[in-house]
Structure 1
Amino acid sequence: MITRIAVLGSANFIKRLRSFEHELPSIKMDYYTYNIPSDAKDIVSIIKPCDAVFFSGSFPFYYAQESVLKLPIPSFYLKQDESVITTTLLSLSFTHPTAIHKLSVDIIDPASAMSVLEDIGQFNETPFLMKIDTSFDLEEIVAFHTNLQKNGSSLLAITSIHAVYQRLRDNGLSVVRMIDPKSSIIKGLEDTKSLALLFKSQSAKIAIGYIQTSKSQAISEDKVKQIAAAIQANTVKEADNLYSLFSTQGNVEEALNNNSMINSWLSSSSSPIKIAFGYGKTVIEATQNAKDALSYTTDNTAYLLTGSKELLGPFPNSNRQVELKNSDPLLVQIAKQTTLSPANLSKVVKFSRLRKSTEFTAYDLEVYLQVSRRTTERILKKLTDHGYAQIIGEEMTYQQGRPRAIYELNFPTYS
């Protein structure tokens, strides 16, 4: 199975990664280049559907943290550890032999540099060290190296930030970049892949739900279909006032995190309803947890009991406001080019966010949209005709008829 990872890094980092990406055949990488680390926070909102996000360092990750928290997928960043310092110093011994005390170094953790120097027996020589974090302006870091070289205290700068490297080079100063070992980058990407697979595994676990009304006021079939479609669930009618839902943890969690969706379930029904969900290692356990959660519900509330017996609710339990209109310029442009209605385009975006895989069929979209196959295929044709979706394969899970096309969206859906 191929894991798709969005990689955010400097031009130099991405160029280097491309040179050995063939050594990671189970990972498909989409590259996003930033000029300075703070650009990462804006880039996150334009990445295309993928399984995980990988940052080339802690700086871009920290700058993008607020945007990362909104992602429905896991993320990982390459840490600057002692192997980075060791590799850099070893490289310098061949390419730029320089006395340790004539080096200026900007680094996230100066203690790790001192530890490496002790390990190689350099007890008496200490470079000029500057501890950096996201509170520093790039100009401060550039000035640190510039002043030391101009007054003769330092002969060579070692920087952790590509933008600083470029500035110092442009100013005619001697500078090299910290070197991330190839093995560390590969391990970081493999760890990211593992996170993505674990996330998918957790999201795919069974979730059982119940919808209940009073015996004298049965819920409408349309309302049941609305709730089931939102979590991609199959339903079974247990009684006139009780329905069972069969879905996955990932779909249920996505729904419970959306207060406007929960409100629409609970407030637009003609009669008071109760909703409960249960997770578990088996269908039996999840069913029992859902029944236990149902016992806590009151009219127009929802509860969740997890596999670890953690009761969450009542939902909606937050004052967070959800924006219901979409003013994203890119989506406005897509709507104009494809002539898709804003409502349909918005639903396609929500469908993408809800799924834990980047691949889908027309049937998957049809079930989510609750429209006819003809309408679904018309939507997909408009997207593919304008390059916003593409057919990447086909499947045939039955013996007769034509194979189903497998699609993938080709525009950002995480903003």
Structure 2
Amino acid sequence: MKIAIIGYPDSVKKILKTLEPQYSHIRFLPYEIKQLRDSVENLKDLKGRVDGVFSTGIGVHSEIVSKLGLNVPMVYSNREAGSILKALWEVRENYPNINNLKVGFDIVEKDVLLDTLDEFGITLDRVDVQEYEEDKTELDFLDEHIKNLSKGEVHCILTAFGYVYDYFKSKKKPVYRLQSTKNEISNQMKALLKDIKINENFKNRIGIKIVKIIKKHKKDELENDRAVFKANLNDIFLKYSKNIHGNYQEFSEDEYIFFTTQKILETKENEVNFLKLVNEIYMLGAKVAVGIGYAENIQGATINARKALNISLVNDKGEIFLFSDNKIRGPLYKKTRFDYSTKISENFEKEAKKIGITPKYLSKIRALHETFGKKEFTSKELSEILEITERSVNRIIKPIITSGYAEIIEYEVCTSAGRPRRVVRFNF
């Protein structure tokens, strides 16, 4: 088993020091980053290489979730009562009369902090808490701390960010590190291992892949040419079926079905082999539409794969889609991929009606927010991602703007002739 430990160097080292003696059978892969945003992008090679991820904090965790798209269990070091008490113990060594102290905290939840102080009878003159917010960077937290220190609103800083800690240390300012305790780290590791076990059982489900060959036969094409094409195709499919430790059969005219497991289909090796297969078919003068489905049995997986294939056929771009657990995923292996739910609750329908959009498109737009980590899109971007015309995009957006759940914030100037494109910000 391989587990990646990702985050600021000192926290990575502490997690390794805590866990390696307890789990000698697990290979821990340390990835040290000193600042978010730029560094996380360099971790894309983790996909398909690890069984789980242990991040050093919620900031790192959120960056990984939004940017890497790893389909493995993940946990992060939380800052609970133990972390707070440990840091305050260090503060007490420098400030014996802690009752008169104004302290600036970050990342910890305010309720957890206040409950901890109350539970252990600790009184502080003032606490300023910067709780985690998705859009805030380390620099935002740092700026707020600097401002509060300069105004005298706090006397010292207790931070979960290694970057913030090192900055204040270099300036010789009173700063203390909020790090998870050994007990908190161990508890999170137990939760991660439990999730990995559940995930393994989940991935042993049946995996079905339906490949539809789209080939325009020329009127003057000889029957022998078609036979050669079919023979070459079968050679390609036979080799691929061995790679996935499964088998295949011709389902109908120009349609082939592969049987294996979800676990095998989600490996990096399978991704490489299948993209090679698609390229080889293209070299034969054809393209494919592909649908993948997972379920506990062959019938359910086949139904799901058929739903995914139908989406690929409608788009007519030779793309690959996946359907399982009431979610559409795709187009796979492309930058425009996003995953959205097809399960619509009664409350979801009511919300969609209030916003002025169909439940289907509400689900898709919500998925865009999560996948691309933003709420602002041009009509061209929405057109390309949703695979509809810009006119259709504008028709969908209009009632959302009218109901106040979206707004035009600026116009993107086009270099070519034509009307400028609107930049739309969704407010939900």
**Contact 1:98–1:156 under 8 Å retained in 2:** no
Q: Of residues 253, 257, 262 in structure 2, which corresponds to 1:249?
A: 262
1:13 and 2:28 aligned: no
> For the structure 1 residues 118 and 202, does the alpha-carbon distance in structure 2 shift closer, same or farther, using more than 3 Å as the test?
same
TM-score under structure 1 length normalisation: 0.58
What aligned pairs does 1:254-293 form with structure 2 within 5 A after superposition? 264=279, 277-283=292-298, 285-286=300-301
**Contact 1:8–1:34 under 8 Å retained in 2:** yes
**Contact 2:237–2:248 under 8 Å retained in 1:** no
Between 219-228 and 31-40, the greater mean CA deviation after superposition? 219-228
> How far apart in 2 are the matches of 1:275 and 1:200?
25
**Contact 2:3–2:53 under 8 Å retained in 1:** yes
> For the structure 1 residues 99 and 298, does the alpha-carbon distance in structure 2 shift closer, same or farther, using more than 3 Å as the test?
closer
> For the structure 1 residues 96 and 47, does the alpha-carbon distance in structure 2 shift closer, same or farther, using more than 3 Å as the test?
farther
> For the structure 1 residues 60 and 97, does the alpha-carbon distance in structure 2 shift closer, same or farther, using more than 3 Å as the test?
farther
CA positional deviation for 1:144 = 3.7
Cα deviations across residues 16-60 of structure 1 (Å, max 9, x unaligned)?
Answer: 233332122343211122223445424423659322222100122
Cα deviations across residues 200-219 of structure 1 (Å, max 9, x unaligned)?
Answer: 333332223455779x9777
> How far apart in 2 are the matches of 1:224 and 1:189?
46
The AA in structure 2 aligned to 1:15 is K
CA positional deviation for 1:312 = 5.3
Q: Of residues 242, 247, 250 in structure 2, which corresponds to 1:235?
A: 247
The number of residue pairs the alignment matches comes to 313
SS in 2 for 1:208: strand
1:222 and 2:232 aligned: yes
> How far apart in 2 are the matches of 1:73 and 1:257?
19
CA positional deviation for 1:240 = 8.5
Q: Which runs of 5+ in 1 are unaligned?
A: 323-415
SS in 1 for 2:260: strand
Q: Which runs of 5+ in 2 are unaligned?
A: 215-222, 338-428
> How far apart in 1 are the matches of 2:307 and 2:51?
33
CA positional deviation for 1:140 = 1.0
> How far apart in 2 are the matches of 1:294 and 1:141?
51
> How far apart in 2 are the matches of 1:189 and 1:29?
12
CA positional deviation for 1:179 = 3.1
**Contact 2:73–2:199 under 8 Å retained in 1:** yes
> For the structure 1 residues 220 and 44, does the alpha-carbon distance in structure 2 shift closer, same or farther, using more than 3 Å as the test?
same
> How far apart in 2 are the matches of 1:292 and 1:36?
42
**Contact 1:103–1:158 under 8 Å retained in 2:** no
**Contact 2:160–2:177 under 8 Å retained in 1:** yes
**Contact 1:206–1:279 under 8 Å retained in 2:** yes
Q: Which residue of 1 aligns with 2:380?
A: none
Q: Which residue of 2 aligns with 1:169?
A: 169
> How far apart in 1 are the matches of 2:89 and 2:43?
35
Q: Which residue of 1 aligns with 2:377?
A: none
1:140 and 2:138 aligned: no
> How far apart in 2 are the matches of 1:7 and 1:296?
38
> How far apart in 1 are the matches of 2:100 and 2:321?
60
Between 116-125 and 267-276, the greater mean CA deviation after superposition? 267-276
Q: Which residue of 2 aligns with 1:25?
A: 24
TM-score under structure 2 length normalisation: 0.56
SS in 1 for 2:21: helix
> For the structure 1 residues 288 and 262, does the alpha-carbon distance in structure 2 shift closer, same or farther, using more than 3 Å as the test?
same
**Contact 1:281–1:307 under 8 Å retained in 2:** no
> How far apart in 2 are the matches of 1:294 and 1:36?
41
Cα deviations across residues 150-199 of structure 1 (Å, max 9, x unaligned)?
Answer: x5x65443222222222222222332211311111122233333333433
> For the structure 1 residues 203 and 143, does the alpha-carbon distance in structure 2 shift closer, same or farther, using more than 3 Å as the test?
same
**Contact 1:100–1:126 under 8 Å retained in 2:** no
The AA in structure 1 aligned to 2:204 is A
Between 172-181 and 57-66, the greater mean CA deviation after superposition? 57-66
**Contact 2:99–2:124 under 8 Å retained in 1:** no
**Contact 1:207–1:252 under 8 Å retained in 2:** yes
What aligned pairs does 1:85-100 form with structure 2 within 5 A after superposition? 85-90=84-89, 92-93=91-92, 97-100=96-99
Q: Which residue of 2 aligns with 1:188?
A: 188
The AA in structure 1 aligned to 2:158 is I
> For the structure 1 residues 223 and 97, does the alpha-carbon distance in structure 2 shift closer, same or farther, using more than 3 Å as the test?
farther
Greater RCO, 1 or 2 (C-alpha within 8 Å, sep 6+): 1
> How far apart in 1 are the matches of 2:46 and 2:3?
10
Cα deviations across residues 300-322 of structure 1 (Å, max 9, x unaligned)?
Answer: 778988675x5859x86998579
> For the structure 1 residues 160 and 145, does the alpha-carbon distance in structure 2 shift closer, same or farther, using more than 3 Å as the test?
farther
SS in 2 for 1:25: coil
